[in-house]
Structure formats: C-alpha cells, structure tokens
Structure 1
Amino acid sequence: MTSQRLCAVIGLLALWLAQLAVARTAVTPVKELRQRPRASPADDDEPDLESLYPAHNLSVPIDHFHNSTLYAPHSNGTFPLRYWYSAAHYAPGGPVIVLCSGETSGVNRLPFLYKGIVYQLAKATGGLGVILEHRYYGTSFPVDDLTTESLRFLTTEQALADTDYFARNVVFEDVDADLSPESAPWIMYGGSYAGAFVAFLRVLYPGTFWGAISSSGVTEAIYDYWQYFEPIRIHGPRACVDTTQAFVRVIDGILLRCPSDADLTARLKETFLLPNVTYDDDFANVLSGGITGWQGRNWDPEVNDPSFGYYCDNITTGELLYPDTEGLRDSVAELIGASGGAAGAAHEDDSSLTDRMLNWIGYVNATAVAPCAADSGSTQNQCFTNRNATYYAQTDLAQTWRAWAYQYCTQWGYLQTGSGAPAHIDPLVSRTIDLEYTSLICRDAFDIWTSSDVQAINRYGGFDISYPRLAIVDGEADPWKEATPHATVARDRASTVEEPFLLIEGAVHHWDENGLLPNETTADLPPQPVADTQATERDFVRAWVAEWYMRKDRRA
C-alpha cells in the first residue's frame, strides 16, 4: 500500500469516528447509550423537513385493554400521538399511505415522506403520505417517567391498537375529503420492527387497513438471536469473514480455553491496548465493533455507513497500516500460539494472521481506544462496560434508550450472541458474548430475570404470517433475515400481486425504504434490484387500490 493510500485510510477512519453510529458493537456499552443520537442528521441539500412537514398530534387512549391484568393498574387517560403528513400528491379518491416509524422518533422517518417509499407510493397513487410515531418514542409519551411500572403500557399490542384508533379518528385538516378507512384504502408500510408491526396490523385489523408492506419485518421473535451474524458470514467479503473468524478463534482460544490463566488474559488485553477493561466479555465486545457495521450498509452513498468497509479494508490488507503496532509483533505471535493456533484454512500460516492482527489492533485503537483516551476523565471501564446499575436506574424521559430495551427484554428478545452459534460454525463475535452478558440491561434496568415472552409476539403468525394484500419484502444479506418469513427455516412461497413475496438481491436492511428524487437518480442509483423492487411495490399497491374501489362500487 502506498503512503498516500495509507493516509487516505487513516483520514477516512478519522472522518468515520466523527459520525460513529451508536450500536456498533454486539452490545451497546453504557457510555454509548448516554450519547445515543436523537435525530438523524439532515442532508445539507434538502429543506428543513420539520418545517416542511409540521407535526400534529391526536389524543389516543393510554390503555386499550382494560380486561388484561398485564396493564394493571389501568388508566383512563389519553396521550398525544404525533404524526406528520403531506398532501403534495393527493388527488381525490387517493389512498392513505402510512409509514409506521417504529422504535425511533418519527422525525427520523421524514426523509421517506420527502423522497423515500412514502413519496413514491403517494405519487404513484395520488395518495396522502403519513408518518406515524410509536408510543414511548419521540414525543409520544403516555407517562411522565420511564420506570418499569410506567413502561407497562409499552407493548406491541397497545401500539397496534393506537394505530387502529388513529386511522378511525384522525382528520387531516387541509384535505377536503373523507379519508376514514370506510371511505379510502389505507396502505401501511414499515421496516424492521415496524415491518413486523404493519404485518400484524393487517392480520389483526383487516377492516381498517386494506394492505401492508412489511420490509425486513422481523415477524418471528427469537430470544437468543445468534443468527444475526449468519447473513454476514454467508454474504460478507470472504477474506474479511475468514479473517474475523480467525481473530475470534484466537480471542476465544485464550478467554475460554485458558480461563484460569490470568496472566495470559492480561497480556491479551495489554496487546490490544485495553489493559484496564476488567471483564472479559466487555473486552470481547469492544472487538466486535467492526463486523457489526454490516447492518448500516446502504445503496445510497448519502445514507450508507462506511464503517464495515473500513474494517474489512484494514484487516485484509497484507501491508502494515499502523507502523506503531510493529512493536507488538512478537506478542501477537505468542498469543496466536497460546490460543492453539488460528490460521486454519483461510491463512497459510500463523505469521500471515499476525500481520492482519496488527492492523486489527491499530483499527481498534483508532476507533475505540484513542477516542476513549481523548475523553478526559473516562476510564476504559467507563467507556466500554455493559455494567452500570446506577446508570440503568435512571428513569426520566431523557433516558430514551429504555424504550426499545424494555420491548426486547419483555417480549421481542433478539439478544445477539456469539455463544449461541452451533459448534460447527465459527462465530464472527466472541462466544463470551452470551445470554448472561447481553441480558445484563434487562436485569439492571428493569429487574427482569426471565427470558423474553416471545410467544406474545409469535402468536401473530411468526415465520408463517400471511394475509391477502400483505407484502413480505426482505434483503438477501440482511442480518435480520433469519427473523423474517424469508428465513432459512421458513417455508418458501410464490410471489403474487395478492401476496407479494420479494427478496432483494444483495440488499441489507429495508433497502426499499429510502429513495432518490427523479433528478438525483443515475444509471447506477438506485441499483437495479432496489429499483425493480420499488417499481413492483408501486405496481401492486396501484392494483390493491383499484381492487378497493372495485369492491366499493360493487357494494354500492
């Protein structure tokens, strides 16, 4: 590698550090929970979307299920559910296209109203575009704090009922038309958790919602979701995957095969410049920060998180990118030997792995160790631990991290472990990242000591969920694919206009959701698989809308 390219790599890493996504390790350390961003940065070339689309609120019941003991003590109160809409493409007789925002502030979904999937579907059908926030996210809070007791109303069941109530009671003030579900077809869209959410809406409230598109919809709740890493292992760049597996064999060869050798473990941490990280699982979690960048990949360069590419470029080159690590060569070679050797089929010998591991150490230093050191007053434990009962005990509304954590601790699961991988599969993260470690937040934040009640979610259909005018759209390389109806263990299906079943070639997480304005498209963007999928979505939604009016005419 030339010195010019080396400088470029290091420069790009510095740029990435400034934009580092929060959930970049298998488990989010407490320090990063504190720094969780509240909104997506706006594109400098786009208008201020919060000014373009003013927020509105509808008063909805806090508790829809007074007969369920799950929500006792019950509430007769209401809370403001926030939403946004655009009538820019609305024409009389058009549908209502609603994007459910899921586990984030609805503000973060406004780009999809401006030029993403909502824009595309509304334009294609003469529809009204809507973004609807989920209870307990953004400003849609039904409570004054986030204690475990106050969080009892945060269930998917209650949020689904919110959405039905919204559809049956909202009035879009400047639209001179009756847009109730009896007078206009409502088409729902969601991605990831929200993708499962809209699939459930279609099944539970078919009289309200005429159709739904579940994109990367995780309809099967899974407690130990070790399968998160499987699409990365299968579809990731071969050299990067093989090297990462070799790295993990070294780390686990020491931490798990030699657990009583405290001196060897201490030498391992010192070599990675992390001598003051007390717990082995916290240490291993820091090292997972490269491979977990896969989910952030996107076809649009303005949306794409480049961290996975930087990681792979660093660990697969045969040249030393970080000269300062040369002094660690002997130590790295000794650690590889002590671990039992890890070269395997992917490397000719352990010396080849040594070169790559030196670059890995440099990468970890640049992306984790150095930023921690620059944060004056923070120890390595404070930067990287997943243990801080005092922090987890905070329950004011500013602790926005509590909402989704409560949902996955109580019902959804999805604890992403290395330990769950079968023995014949070399994991991409350490097996020290196990259920005990990934559920620490459940115990310390909510006093939940049992596994998630995934059956509360899977009763809606799980892998087999199916309904007329319910589209299942997934990414071939999505780490969440194994929790969708496209999972390896799920049944195969034919794709029809009535029940589309689409797998986007090479795509990661709900790649059909974001889009480009007509003057932004190029010969390569969106890529053909995404463009084809979005065109198919427009076609079948038009067909669904036409069917709604045909049936309405028959009833008349």
Structure 2
Amino acid sequence: MVSRTYIFNVGNFAFLFAIFVVGEGRIKGFGRFYDWQKPVSDDQWFIQKLDHFNGADGRVWKQRYFVNDAFYKMGGPVFLMIGGEGPANPAWMQHGTWLTYAEKLGAICFMLEHRFYGKSHPTDDLSTENLRFLSSRQALADLAHFRTVMAETQGLVNRKWVAFGGSYPGSLAAWFRLKYPHLVHASVATSAPIHATVNFPEYLEVVGHSLASENTDCPLLVKKASDILIEQLSDPANYDNITKDFNLCSKLEIQTETDSAYFLETLAGNFMDVVQYNEDNRGFEGVVGTNITIKVLCGVMADTSLGDPYARYAAVARLMMDTFSMKCVDVSFNKNLRDMTNTSWDGPAAGGGRQWVYQTCTEFGFYQSTDSPNQPFAGFPLEYHVKQCADFYNITAEQLAASVVETNEYYGSYDIHSDRIVFPNGSIDPWHALGITQDIGADLPAVFIKGTAHCANMYPANSKDPLQLTLARDHIFLHLQQWLKQ
C-alpha cells in the first residue's frame, strides 16, 4: 500500500503550504503530496542536545540524517544540506544540483533533518510548552554541533564545509555562515527570505505579476472571480450553490470572518501554490501536480466556454482536486482549528503544519495577506492570520510583533555582514520579495533568475530548462569552486 503524506506549505514558508527537505512555503492550501514508498537512503541518527542554550539541561534526543559518500575524494569538501519545515526526503541524496557539484568537487554529502520535523522528535509531543525548543537558533546550534562531532568522528576536521538550503533552510544556510563562520566555509542560500515581517502582502503581489507574465488578463480575471465570490458569500442563500460549485466536503457555513477568510484563502492557494512551484523539476521527489503550471491555470481562466470568471475559478478548483485525487475540499476552519491544536505526533498537522505556524508566530510572521490593492485576491487580511497565533498557541499580536523585530535584530535582515554566501532567487517566486536579489558585495553575490520559480536552481537539470537557469547553476558552481580555493 502506498502511503501518502499531506504536507502543509514555508511561510503561508514555508507557507509551504507544501513542504520538502529544503523548505517551501505556504501555511495552507492544497499543498503537495509525496510518495514515500521507495526509500533511497538509510536513516542514520545523531545524538543531539535538546536545549543548546541551557547548560544545566542535559536532555538529548535522536536527530535523523543521511549520508552520500559516493563522490568523496580524500581531501574534498563536505556538503551539508539543511532540512526544513517538513520531513527530510532521502531522494535528495540521489538527485539535485548539489550532487552535480559534489561529483565535480569530490565532496561527501550530509543532510540533517530539522528538529521537530519528519522523524526528528525531540519531545514527547507538540504541546506549546515543548515547542519552545523549536526555533531557528536551536536549529543552527543543531547544525553546529552536528558539524563539529561529525568532523571529529569521520576524519573531516580539516575539510571545508559548505551549507545548502532552499526557502527557510536557505535562510538557515545564510545564517549558519553568518553566526558560525568558523564552522562553515561557504553557503548557497537559495530562495531564502532573510527579512522577517509580520505582514507579507508582497507575496500575492508577485503572484499577480507572475500570472500576468503568462497572460496580462489572467490576474484581472482572477480578481473578478474573487470579487464575485465574495459578493456571493454575502447572502447565505448562495451557500448551497457555492458548496456544489467548489465540491466542498460539507455545506458551506460562514458564521465568522475567520470562516470566510479560511475559505477564500484555501481557493486562492490553488494559484499561490502553482505560481510558487511553476515548472519545477521535482518528479524525483514523488510530487504530484507538477504538470499544473501558470500556463494551465491561466488557460482555464481565459476559457470563456466555461462561463463567467467565477465559473472558471471553480473549474480551477476542480482541476486541482482531480490532480490530487481529492474527493472534496474541506474548508471548515473549526476542523482546521482542531487539527492544528492536536499536540500528538500522530495528529493531522504533525507533518509540519503545527510546527511551522508556531515558528511564524514566534520568529518570522510571513503572513500572506490580501492587504495590498495591487494583487488579485481578497478576503484574508492580516488580522485573520495573526488571530491564529492566539487560537493555536495563545500567542498575542504584541508578542508576535516583538518576536519578528527580535529576529531581524539577531540576524540583521538585509544588512548581512559576512562573505562566501551566494543568494539565488527566481523572478516568478513570490519569496524573492524578502530575499537578496542584488549583489551585496563580491563575496555576497545574488543570482536573480528570470522566469523561474521557488528553488529552481536546486532541482536536477532538464533539457527543457531555460538558458538562464542553466547559466545560473553554472554561475553558482563557479563561486563555490573559487571559494573552496580560499
């Protein structure tokens, strides 16, 4: 029997939100489905400290990691792939651009799963009390301790270590080099949002621009559909038809603004997810739905034979359901609330949803609101996102805002004082709005890739890849080659 795991989206990261080993990002939406039937690398376990910042706490736990030494040549570098807000996928130990680099440079490759995700369970459950041990700072300390011990036990003390990560793990890769420069020689921080912000309406602005890059009418049609839908929601007499049109699992009930926002965000997630992962080469991960692209969605929205823009919006929802073999769409916020407050490791949100939203509430924000007029959606403002921090973890808006300020103070936001970090980003990817898209300096270069989406440079090369993506991968390699000589 094939087991499929639903993974929420990196930031709403996340978020997403679909999640994979190098991180992704959205908190809600249909997400992605992964087929874990075929393991390609054996799980290995590292004894890790629970709290790196309290010497009086001697508790430890087992953290999962993977190794590929097929390309290692004596004296070669060490590559460390950083896990993100979901289970670490061992398929990355056999696929991906980083292995192409490893083969050329004779590197040994490690991948470390992020604490509290996948099989790396530091605590008995996911209670809010236990989640206090989940943070980017603890994750960086995990990386530091892992790197130190593995270097000593595997004869890699004098080797140069290079960190790799995409999305939230891309941020970790940059921050690892920033905070532990004596341990990591260089970093590739792909699609890394390095500025924390509570409100992130720019995400949807980029979604609109990316849709327009395919068809200038596309975001206008989406906006028209969204406006019609909101108007329909104002009259409960329309709920039966809406339930049927969007094939909801139960009759639509809108009793609060949160109910409405959750429904509207779920439908908008169809477009958000597709834009973020547009035309990626992720088949090796067992991902379903890579055939659904911006071109496909805009084609549906432009098809007048389907009816008005509202009907075409519903057709997009049905297309996504068919693609993911979903019988219906559950848009009940009350059910989501029950799922997200279930603290068991067997709970429906334990695949990453409860953990990642906690990190957004305590470190990053990243809430993809409709507060900007320059985007095609409506109905899920910042207040809706912030309220969930209180609903799920009893974290107030004031605590959230203070945490985001503290994150930027600690890491420096865009003001990065380091070297040997390369920042690849794609112009279609909404996360580039919080990333580095222009060179900070000669040793802090940006690689801005026109026409590509989230983490595109990390995936295996494909004959259909645009020239600019191929050149970007080569450019990143040249930086690594040069830095490893230093």
Say yes or no: TM over 0.5: yes
Counterpart in the other structure of 1:129: 109
| Equivalent residues, number | 447
Conserved? CA contact 2:81–2:164, under 8 Å: yes
User: CA, structure 1 residues 137+267, in 2 after alignment: closer, same or farther (shift >3 Å)?
Assistant: closer
Letter in 2 for 1:98: L
Counterpart in the other structure of 1:447: 394
Aligned match for 1:500, one of 445, 448, 457: 445
Q: Are positions 1:248 and 2:226 aligned together?
A: yes
Conserved? CA contact 2:140–2:172, under 8 Å: yes
SS of the residue corresponding to residue 163 of structure 2 reads: strand
User: CA, structure 1 residues 159+536, in 2 after alignment: closer, same or farther (shift >3 Å)?
Assistant: same
Give, in angstroms, the shift of residue 299 of structure 1: 3.7
Letter in 1 for 2:477: R
Aligned match for 1:485, one of 436, 450, 455: 436
Give, in angstroms, the shift of residue 277 of structure 1: 3.1
Structure 2 CA distance, aligned partners of 1:313 and 1:266?
27
Counterpart in the other structure of 1:187: 162
Conserved? CA contact 1:225–1:417, under 8 Å: yes
SS of the residue corresponding to residue 219 of structure 1 reads: coil
User: CA, structure 1 residues 164+263, in 2 after alignment: closer, same or farther (shift >3 Å)?
Assistant: closer
- The RMSD of aligned alpha carbons is 3.4
Conserved? CA contact 1:476–1:507, under 8 Å: yes
Counterpart in the other structure of 1:198: 173
Letter in 2 for 1:202: R
| Pairing 1:519-530 to 2, within 5 Å after superposition | 521-522=462-463, 524=464, 526-530=465-469
Give, in angstroms, the shift of residue 88 of structure 1: 0.7
Structure 2 CA distance, aligned partners of 1:373 and 1:469?
45
Deviation digits for residues 452-510 of structure 1, max 9, x if unmatched? 51123212021222421011111111111111122xxxxx43663x2221101111101
Q: Are positions 1:306 and 2:291 aligned together?
A: yes
SS of the residue corresponding to residue 448 of structure 2 reads: strand
So what's the TM-score if we normalise by structure 1?
Answer: 0.72
Q: Are positions 1:437 and 2:384 aligned together?
A: yes
Give, in angstroms, the shift of residue 527 of structure 1: 2.6
Give, in angstroms, the shift of residue 319 of structure 1: 2.1
Conserved? CA contact 1:25–1:288, under 8 Å: no
Give, in angstroms, the shift of residue 146 of structure 1: 0.7
Letter in 2 for 1:509: H
| Pairing 1:326-475 to 2, within 5 Å after superposition | 355-365=308-318, 367=320, 374=327, 383-388=330-335, 389-399=337-347, 400=350, 401-418=353-370, 420-421=371-372, 423=373, 425=374, 427-430=375-378, 432-450=379-397, 451-452=400-401, 453-459=403-409, 460-475=411-426
Aligned match for 1:512, one of 457, 462, 467: 457
Q: Are positions 1:41 and 2:35 aligned together?
A: yes
Give, in angstroms, the shift of residue 207 of structure 1: 0.6
Q: Are positions 1:544 and 2:466 aligned together?
A: no
Give, in angstroms, the shift of residue 155 of structure 1: 0.9
Letter in 2 for 1:357: Y
Counterpart in the other structure of 2:276: 295
Conserved? CA contact 1:387–1:440, under 8 Å: no
Structure 1 CA distance, aligned partners of 2:339 and 2:270?
26
Conserved? CA contact 2:39–2:91, under 8 Å: yes
Conserved? CA contact 2:427–2:450, under 8 Å: yes
Structure 1 CA distance, aligned partners of 2:327 and 2:57?
48
Determine what percentage of the aligned residue pairs are the same residue: 22
Letter in 2 for 1:277: E
Conserved? CA contact 1:97–1:187, under 8 Å: yes
| Pairing 1:140-219 to 2, within 5 Å after superposition | 140-170=120-150, 178-180=155-157, 183-219=158-194
Structure 1 CA distance, aligned partners of 2:29 and 2:217?
35
Deviation digits for residues 340-384 of structure 1, max 9, x if unmatched? xxxxxxxxxxxxxx6333333344355469999946xxxx7xx21
SS of the residue corresponding to residue 285 of structure 1 reads: helix
Letter in 1 for 2:117: Y
User: CA, structure 1 residues 439+248, in 2 after alignment: closer, same or farther (shift >3 Å)?
Assistant: same
Structure 2 CA distance, aligned partners of 1:270 and 1:127?
54
User: CA, structure 1 residues 387+465, in 2 after alignment: closer, same or farther (shift >3 Å)?
Assistant: farther
Counterpart in the other structure of 1:101: 83
Give, in angstroms, the shift of residue 196 of structure 1: 0.5
Conserved? CA contact 1:290–1:307, under 8 Å: no
SS of the residue corresponding to residue 540 of structure 1 reads: helix
Give, in angstroms, the shift of residue 286 of structure 1: 3.8
Conserved? CA contact 1:228–1:480, under 8 Å: yes
Structure number with greater Rg is 1
Give the gaps of 5 or more residues in structure 2.
Answer: 19-26
User: CA, structure 1 residues 436+313, in 2 after alignment: closer, same or farther (shift >3 Å)?
Assistant: same
Give the gaps of 5 or more residues in structure 1.
Answer: 1-17, 68-73, 321-353, 487-491, 548-556
Conserved? CA contact 2:9–2:29, under 8 Å: no
